[in-house]
Structure 1
Amino acid sequence: MLFYSEIINILRKRINMKNSKRLKNKDFSLLASNCNGAFILHDLNLKFNSPTVNLFMYPSDFVKYIKNLEYYSKCDLKFIKKEDTAYPVGKLDDIEIHFMHYKDENEAERKWKERTDRIDFDNMFVMMTDRDGCSLEDLKEFDKLPYKNKVVFTHKEYSEIKSSVYIKGFENEKNVGNLYSYKNRFTGYKYYDDFDYVEWFNSRTAEK
């Protein structure tokens, strides 16, 4: 008899295989404010062509980073000590980067530099999530960013935020939860699957 974890892994593999077959644009850069981007890339078995992997930035810092991406990509990464924080915390000029899934500063710096060099400014997608202190002002500033391929996942509907995608299931919360979590034990679907990210990535190919 299969355990629940084995069943859901099988279901997830089927979903990932189906999505991978649909995907046409396979060499893009996905810059995300938290781990959702890394999980999606991993699901699609794609290379990490951006440095925002296994880390998170506060929304206000992420908006600032994306708004001035070329500048921050050239800044030296420095590390600071923060109380009650076991993982490395870096700074690019005036923004903080929380390398929560890195073992030490050396690994964080090496991966950051390596993946920053891979950014494809001509085939880039930007993803933010309504959490980690995200304010309405952050959402508005994100919506103003001069990128066509941008999306922000929100816990409720925002008609005034054109780039927002409402993810159901967090209406009674102050923000969106972990979107890489499974919605239930019978389908293998995760919360972020409510957004057709494959079609989103393919939209860049359709423009050519």
Structure 2
Amino acid sequence: MLATLRKISNRLFRLAINKKLQRRLTNHRMSVIASNCNGALILHDLKEAFRSPFVNLYLEPADFIRYLQNPRHYQQTEPVFEQTDKPYPVAKLDDIRLYFVHYHSEREAREKWLSRSTRIDWDNLFVMMTDRDGCTQQNIADFDALPYPNKVIFTHKAYPQFASAYHIRGFENQSEVGDLFEFSGWFGQKYYDQFDYVAWFNRNHG
């Protein structure tokens, strides 16, 4: 009963939160490249289109960083699907792997990857990584060194030595952050709301 009340409360409050976030947003052309689903779920809350293929998938930290070191090369590479024991499609993109966790078929994954790849706005790019899936402090350091003006990595503890690290409270006793799109209480707030992503997106829009 309590869990049901919490779910109802969060859903109702979230409707108002999302409308407020949508009103604040002025940059409506950004492309978000994210290591997992957080980027797409934030865009969904904002009712924004997906202007990158990084939707409903994840990459392991080292592969995500490798992609970011040479993104145009990888975007010109066709995904090659592998036979694995995963219940979802997995593809190689040259020397990195894409885990299409929320796709039902290789065909769907390929079509979405290719069609959304054409929408990337390289001049309005935002890069988002998450401290999970085996992420190490060296991965965080490597991400922090990447030459992107708009980048953030959500971490389970504070890393003041890294300018792009943003500590998400609530996971300090864990080895990584949990699902940041989950509600963190009763009033519609999600864990990733601790980071003001609307202000972050808006700084690329004068």
TM-score tier, shorter chain, comes to: over 0.9
Write out per-residue CA displacement over residues 106-158 of structure 1, whole angstroms, 9 at most, x where no aligned residue.
00000000001100000000000000000111111100111000000000011
Match status 1:140 vs 2:141: yes
Match status 1:154 vs 2:167: no
Distance between the aligned counterparts of 2:129 and 2:102, measured in 1?
A: 18
- CA apart distance, 1:3: 4.7
Tell me the number of residue pairs that the alignment of Structure 1 and Structure 2 aligns: 203
- CA apart distance, 1:196: 0.1
- CA apart distance, 1:8: 1.7
Match status 1:57 vs 2:59: yes
Give the structure 2 partner of residue 194 of structure 1: 194
2:154 alignment partner, SS class: strand
Correspondence list, 1:82-101, <5 A = 82-83=84-85, 85-101=86-102
4+ residue runs over 4 A deviation: none
Match status 1:45 vs 2:47: yes
Preserved contact between residue 14 and residue 189 of structure 2 (Cα < 8 Å)? yes
Give the structure 2 partner of residue 125 of structure 1: 126
From 33, 38, 62, the counterpart of 1:31: 33
Q: Give 5+ residue unaligned stretches, structure 2.
A: none
Aligned-residue sequence identity (percent) comes to: 49
Q: Give 5+ residue unaligned stretches, structure 1.
A: none
TM-score normalised by structure 1 residue count: 0.95
Distance between the aligned counterparts of 2:78 and 2:45, measured in 1?
A: 31
Distance between the aligned counterparts of 1:96 and 1:103, measured in 2?
A: 17
2:200 alignment partner, SS class: helix
Root-mean-square deviation over aligned CA pairs: 1.0
